[in-house]
Amino acid sequence: MKVTESRRIPEVFDAVVIPFDDKLTLLPQTEALLPERLLLPVRAALREKKADGFCAGPYAQDVYDEKLDRSRRFVLIGLGNGSLTNRELFLRLAKALQSCKAVKAGVTAVLLDNAGAILKKPAVLEKLCELPYLVSYQFNAYRSAPVENGMKEMVLVTEQEGLEPVLEEAGHVAMSTRMARDLVNHPSMYMTPVRFAGEMERMAAENGLEITVYGPKEMQEMKMGAFLSVARGSKEEPRLIVLRYCGGKADEAPIALVGKSVMFDSGGYSLKSKMATMHDDMGGGAAVAGAIRAIAAQKLPVNVVAVMAACKNMVSGDAYVPGDILFSMNGKTIEMLNSDAEGRLTLADAITYAIRKEGAERIIDIATLTGAAKGAVGARSAAVIAGDETLYEAMKKASEDSCEKIWRLPADQELFEVLRSEVADLKNSNPGNTMGGGTIVAGLFIREFTEGKPWIHVDMAPVNWLAEGNSYSIRGGTGYGVSLLYETVKNLL
């Protein structure tokens, strides 16, 4: 898939998308671009749709071109009066492109200037340019007959100047998001911790990143007892994967992106009842890998380290069991009462590593951490707990620009009482807790390992995986977090 810009509609095209503002006006310069055989039905459809409106969704129609002996699709989409959020514009444009995908349109032209005042917003333009990559994504790794959607090129038809940098940046972020989707969509039989490390080594080599991969022996030497306890039940060896991008000053402390990377989560002896899609529990690791890839491709002037503690949480004769006492790298002891609250244990040691071994001064962690998050914020947002206002403001703006929604929850210290242990420094969970706030409690646990550094936690459990596809993603991993983290780091420059 490629995205290009032009002042004219390409000679050969399969679909054309025409955005409108609230006046639903086909501008003269737009009319001049359209071939007569398409202009007449567009005018007719517009007259009809002005009466009942089409702002909530696209209007699509196929027109048979006798001269070319083929059909062409035109899609009309209303973008309002400029008051819609970036996310709302993103979703409307995604639906328009999805309509083109449905008819396997190889070349789609978007007549950008017909709603130019709205689409001149830099963040909206950048996200529009990501959409073709996101909408056209397919996962064919295990299909004997690959699904072909036919989308090959989108042409932005516009008089606007200087779009090349926008197109380039959009390509970096979107392709990194597609990589994250791939990583999540592979089943755990393939995407083991060792295979994940291998994928990261290849990605690092292609993008000029430094990488270190630690095995169990090195992790034992670093006393990463919390992480290793989670990994103990699996025959697959764990890996601690560290990616480094050095684009800032040599003496500048890196920003740490720490992603939960549980390659499969059975729940351990606190066994889950449903686990057909639990290979998605490494979505946080996929997100930070994609984010640092995009950061490197864009050559941002910043130092970033991405840390992924990759393992499987399995049941076996060697697995940890509720009641065990775990010894973290931080030095704090943990009474483990729920082996399905494992993500916070892997993150505890990964965050400690980022601070003590990589010298990170700001921490962003992202994880499919709690089922409670969906109940708290719904299925369209990630839950965020912030221990630093500067980080939160950077992420809040990043959420608006990336169109990846967040919803802040309070770091309510009163809820920390449920994590107090009588036999260790703290509990990893409190089964039977009547205070609720499971997402907040998990965030408070993680905060205990941040050593007072500026920190923000993203619980992406509600948005990491789609049981059914939407307008910009097929069923499976969404790649959520890549764009959010990329934009957050940009905002911290």
Q: Two tokens at 232?
A: 């103990």
User: Which amino acids are annotated catalytic?
Assistant: 272, 344
Q: Two tokens at 411?
A: 């770091």
Angstrom distance (rounded) from CA 114 to CA 269: 59
The backbone region for 162, taken as left when phi is positive above 0, alpha when psi lies in -120 to 50, beta otherwise, is left
Q: Two tokens at 466?
A: 């789609």
